[in-house]
Amino acid sequence: MSPTPWWRSAAIYQIYPRSFLDSNGDGVGDLEGARRRLEHLSWLGVDAVWLSPFYRSPMRDFGYDVSDYCDVDPLFGTLDDFDSLVAEAQAQGIRVLVDLVPNHTSDQHPWFVESRASRDNPKRDWYVWRDGTPDRPPNNWTASLTNGPAWTWDEKTEQWYLHLFLPEQPDLNWANPDVEAAMHDVVRFWLDRGVDGFRIDVTHALGKDPRLPDDPPQLAGVPHSSIHDDPRTHAILRRLRRLVDGYPGERVLVGEVYLLDTSLVAAYYGQGDELHLSFNFPPLYAPWDASAWRDEIAMAEAEFGPRGAWPTWVLSNHDNVRHRTRYGSEARARAAAVLLLTLRGTPFLYAGEELGLQDAVIPPERVVDPGGRDGCRAPLPWDATPSHGWPTTDPWLPWPPDPETNNAEVERLDASSMLQLYRRLLAARRASPALAGGDIELLTAPEGVLAYERRLAGDRRVVVVNFSDEPVDVFLGSSWTVEVASDGSGEGGPYSGTLGGSTALLLAPA
């Protein structure tokens, strides 16, 4: 591996294919739609995309219930469409990561159809089956998305099967070497097709204690998938890492380790022999507050740093209310963009955050997600026309608020837009070794303000973020030039010593 693999300095952009752009008029985004907007991404300046699942699926969990890992669902197109998307993206210098969903399949996957057919089916042990009686599940685990038991009783074969998510998402049994071998074949299939890596769904849940012990009583009712942390997963990841590292070209494994404790997350990097990168969600759930963020940054440094593990930062994705909505104002979302793109680590952007999109308001009759996550999955508006660049005015979910102004075309023509801010920040990251890969040092700052310095060799940048809504004087010693301002004002000029309310600045030495 080269000393600085590409994914350390990269900014990675998540495409939720259903919502990016539709090409065929069925109201659902698809791979061809994504291909047509690659220019948006190269213009913006991101280095890679992560595609949420586009595999064959009954769509009970909108693609995270896979019924064929090696084919494209007709809703999203064909394998040829996928190949065209990857080839064109890579030709434009954009790498492509795909989602790997190894913890569970759809209940319609042929493996599970066989597994549930009879107790002596050769695939019975590919899933997690337990004896019992229909009135009492084998343990007290709670499923995500339903908040019901993580077990479903199979009438025909009179056993329970485990599902950490919907009953239609049975958990695979990774203790069975045949399951691991089959999933390695899936990984090879996509690596051979040229993908640059994987985002791995529910990484931390793969290994399971065969005794499946009860959760402690005080955690009963908490979705088990958010607390499952079994040491068996590490050996599984080491074998996967060896497979992936055996391919040329620095392919990357990014784990979704949904444990809300950064020290637990850091363990999934192993000794540099497990995940290359992991999501770290505590900052996503932190309030818009300077000291909360200071703590999150210090925690990431303390936990990742000594391991040589490279941090990641993410504010929005397809599972959570967008940060523009959570933080409550455009000014804060702009300041948050400065933060996201200047911290030490790899930032992940969720499609539409560069437009400042808010969650859509979903009327009850249009709710489709069993987990209630529709608002952040609203379609991206590309222009100001009634269909916003889509072939239909009425896509699968309602538009987010203000699509006449918050859209890619209008914002591209407006130098003061959120979109243009993201573009300037991404360009500044690329141009500065300190931002792309340098150290971070938290600086002393007045209450309500977060300040830090990034440094690599002779290159330096300072970032100041005013979380309060009032102006604050922040004294920074030597003289600095405003390189990027979240509100666009004063760029290229000297830092005045005062920071507006809900404003952030990226400063370069004068």
Chain residues that interact with ligand NOJ, rule: CB under 6 A: 61, 64, 101, 165, 201-202, 256, 318-319
Q: Where are the beta strands (DSSP E) in 126-271?
A: 129-130, 151-154, 159-162, 197-200, 252-255
CB neighbourhood size of 424 (10 A): 21
Which residue among 171, 196, 201, 303 is the active-site one? 201
For the CB of residue 227, give the shortest distance to ligand NOJ in the complex, in Å. Answer: 15
Q: Looking at beta carbons only, is 260 or 302 nearer to ligand NOJ?
A: 260
Look-up of token digits 């996550």: 373
Nearer Cβ to ligand NOJ, position 81 or 256?
256
* Phi/psi of residue 200, nearest 5 degrees: -105, 115
Burial of 5: CB neighbours in 10 Å, binned 0-12, 13-18, 19+: middle
Nearer to ligand NOJ (CB atom), residue 45 or residue 53: 53
Residue closer to ligand NOJ (CB basis): 203 or 346: 203
Q: Report the phi/psi class of residue 433: left, alpha or beta, with left for phi > 0 and alpha for psi in -120 to 50.
A: alpha
Min dist CB 225 to ligand NOJ, Å, is 8
Closest distance to ligand NOJ from the beta carbon of 62 (Å): 7
Non-local CB neighbours of 53 within 8 Å, separated by 6+ positions:
17, 62, 63, 64, 66, 99, 101
CB of 336 to ligand NOJ, least distance (A): 21
Q: What is the rounded CA–CA span in Å between residue 27 and residue 11?
A: 29
Would you call 250 a catalytic residue per the annotation?
no
Q: Is 201 a catalytic residue?
A: yes
Give the ranges where 62-157 is alpha helix by DSSP (H). Answer: 79-91, 110-115
CA distances from 231 to 67, 204, 228 (A): 28, 9, 10
Chain center to CA of 480: 34
Amino acid (one-letter) located at 255: G
Nearer to ligand NOJ, 171 or 196 (CB): 171
CB of 319 to ligand NOJ, least distance (A): 5
Closest CA to 70 of 82, 84, 86: 82
Residue nearest to ligand NOJ (CB): 64
Minimal distance in Å, beta carbon 279 to ligand NOJ? 9
Of 91 and 367, nearer to ligand NOJ (C-beta) is 367
- Out of 22, 168, 215, 256, which one is annotated catalytic? 256
Active site residues: 201, 256
